[in-house]
Chain A
Amino acid sequence: MNLARLVLREIRHRKINFALSLLGAALAVAAVLATIGALRSHDLQTEAIISDMEAATQSEMKKLEDEIRKSMKGLGFNIYIFPAGQEMSEVYADGYASKTMPESYVSKLADSKIVTVNHLLPSLTQKLEWPEQKRTIILIGVRGEVPIAHRDPKAPLIDPVVPGHLVLGYELHRSLGLKKGDPVTFMGKEFTVGDAYEARGSKDDITIWMNLGECQELLGKVGLINAIQALECNCATLDRLGEIRAELMQILPDTQIIETQSTALARAEARNQAAATARQQIESKKAQRAQLKAERQKLAGVLLPAATLVSMIWIGLLTFINVRERLPEIGILRAIGVKGRTILGAFLVRAIIAGLVGGAMGAAVAKFVSPTILPKEWLIAICLAPLLAALGAWLPSLAAAQRDPADVLRHD
């Protein structure tokens, strides 16, 4: 006969009392682990929300950037590079430079390590009379964007005009009744209308765009251009023009630079602002979630000890009832020489088994309810449950162990 046998037989005999003890331990462990799991789920949820927000922001930024890039077609460019001797008053009066510079300048820029501008578009512009139609137009020869060699190529901002084609501004094609695909003669050469633009309410409406090479040939300015347009500034300081000038002057000393159409830059800056706002929103969300977590932790800080304490009291109460039911047994065991500490051990071992089995059951339930609980936490809970159960059962067990057998037997 040994203590374990006595305890196990007693547990089998008083199943309800033991089952209630198991339930107490299981509920406490399940509550504690589920709360820990819920807090961790909160963290994971926060990570997911923030990650989604960041992905959405990134996507939105990309979209915004594409939109800006597209809108630049209509907004124009914010940097113009003109030949060094060009009178700017003439440019402001006529809208283009009368002087020219070699087209190779744009290749020189594109092949350089330039960082302050992003897009380079060479053009040859001239106001002239369309001899066949007897009307003044602005002719612009374009070759599309020249990719900067050391960067990833991007979609061209302005589609190059296919040789043999013309793109007509609104007033021209409307008044002449021309449409896409129609043949048209310009300066004695046959072309096809490649595109006919909608009204823009600007000089674009009386503009003809042509392939740069053909334009140079018609104007007798082969290999020459009169402007390079550049877009966007990756500047580090507010003096962006100063930075651009400083860099460009090193590459193309025989040019001059002016800044126009700052709206484009403003759009680009708006994009950066939008990114900053999005970052702020993410930070705000993080702070909000952190505050929610802190509140939950505070609540858990009250609930967890309460659940543990209630469970300990519950097990202590059930042990007390068990002791009361077993008083005659305690009396006879003490009478026949069983020591007080053995009696104490019998009740504590019973409580420890309840804590261990109940704790394991509670941990299993918690695993089902909250899969985010770590194995280490289960292990700690399963180890702590019997300890706390023993603590809960300590007082009634001690009272049982110290019970005077003579007193028990005399009153039985």
Chain B
Amino acid sequence: MTESINSNSPDASADTEVRPPALCLDEVNKQYRTAEGHVQALDEVSLTLENGEFVALHGPSGCGKSTLLLMAGGLLSPDSGTLTIAGGHPYALGAEARAAFRALHVGFVFQQFHLIPYLDVLDNVLVGELAGTGGDHRERARELLDAFQLGHRLHHVPSKLSIGEQQRVALARAFLRSPALILADEPTGNLDTENAAIILEHLGRFAASGDGAVLMVTHDDRARAAASRSVEMRDGQLV
């Protein structure tokens, strides 16, 4: 599996072109109101992921990792500070336009996979087409699934797949549109060593292609080791 799985991206040889960072957070803050009072989930967080980076984000539970991930995914607006994804400002857009922005520039991978239980493998990968941003991605989906050794499972529903296969389907879904940014929340949390290694390898390969970056929240030391950079978070701050 040496071929690029990010083949829809601009030619890597055109590296003379200066591209904006995949993700850039500049002094962002996020506060939640709870019954006990205000909780500062993110406190003056600044983080930049250049294309090609594979960054592991770790820290204790409740330190703000998930908040940071959701914010990076254009799903949770910051109270203050600025955030760009591939040079774009998702929070400057309306809800519908931001959804389209996410569809084009962000891929998500979750610990629970979040596959649609009644769709087969191929349709789960193609479900992003419902975003209505155009294009026929069927061939691209088949290529990805072949690359993830799921070519023979195209018409199986998730319940017929192993845990590792399910996570690979989720990964293919995230990669489909060759986004600038892959956000992975504990992607190996439910996997055995072998499958975790496969997922980490694919994430690393995606980042290495230079077409985008990966931000991975993890508690897994193996995952941190696979990343090109590791960032620790405590009490809403990067340390």
Which residue numbers of A lie inside 8 Å of B, CB to CB? 1-3, 5-6, 9-10, 12-14, 328-329, 331-342, 405-406, 409-410, 412
Contacts and interface: CB of A to CB of B under 8 A. Distances in A.
Contacts of B116: 6, 329, 332-333
B129 A2 contact: yes
A336 B128 contact: yes
A410 B111 CA distance: 12
23 contacts: A1-B126, A1-B127, A1-B129, A2-B129, A5-B123, A6-B130, A329-B117, A331-B114, A332-B116, A333-B116, A334-B99, A336-B102, A336-B173, A338-B99, A338-B103, A338-B127, A338-B130, A338-B132, A339-B96, A339-B99, A339-B132, A342-B131, A409-B110
Contacts of A405: 75
B101 to A, nearest CB: 8
Given A333-B130, A337-B100, A340-B99, 17 more contacts: A1-B126, A3-B130, A6-B116, A6-B123, A9-B123, A10-B118, A335-B102, A335-B108, A337-B102, A337-B103, A337-B104, A339-B99, A340-B95, A341-B96, A406-B76, A409-B110, A410-B70
A336 B181 CA distance: 12
Given A9-B118, A406-B70, A337 B110 contact: no
Contacts of B118: 9-10, 12-14
CB-based closest 9 A-B pairs: A337-B103, A13-B118, A337-B131, A332-B114, A1-B126, A406-B75, A1-B129, A337-B102, A406-B76
Interface in B58-83: 66, 70, 73, 75-76
Contacts of A10: 118
A194 B114 CA distance: 114
A332 B117 CA distance: 12
B112 interface: yes
A338 B116 CA distance: 14
B119 interface: yes
A410 B96 CA distance: 21
Interface in B82-99: 95-96, 99
Contact of A1 (B75, B117, B130): B130
A10 B157 CA distance: 12
A339 B119 contact: no
B161 to A, nearest CB: 16
A245 B132 CA distance: 100
Given A10-B118, A342-B132, A335 B126 contact: no
Given A13-B117, A328-B114, A329-B116, A338 B70 contact: no
B228 interface: no
Contacts of B162: none
Contacts of A338: 99, 103, 127-128, 130-132
Given A9-B119, A13-B117, A342-B132, A333 B100 contact: no
Query: Chain A's interface: helix, strand, loop or mixed, by majority?
Result: helix
Contacts of A1: 123, 126-130
B149 interface: no
Contacts of B119: 6, 9
B4 interface: no
A350 to B, nearest CB: 12
A342 B127 CA distance: 12
B96 A335 contact: no
Nearest to A331: B114
B174 to A, nearest CB: 8
A404 to B, nearest CB: 8
A333 B112 CA distance: 14
A410 B73 CA distance: 13
A380 B76 CA distance: 46
B103 A336 contact: yes
B95 A409 contact: no
B8 interface: no
Contacts of A336: 102-103, 107-108, 127-128, 131, 173
Contacts of A329: 114, 116-117
Q: Output the residue of A3, A5, A10, A336 with the most chain B CB within 10 A.
A: A336
B34 to A, nearest CB: 13
Contacts of A335: 73, 75, 102, 108
A78 B103 CA distance: 107
Contact of B96 (A3, A13, A333, A340): A340
Contacts of A13: 117-118
A242 B42 CA distance: 118
B131 A339 contact: yes
A366 B225 CA distance: 69
Nearest to A329: B116
A2 B134 CA distance: 11
Contact of A337 (B117, B123, B126, B128): B128
Contacts of A339: 96, 99-100, 131-132
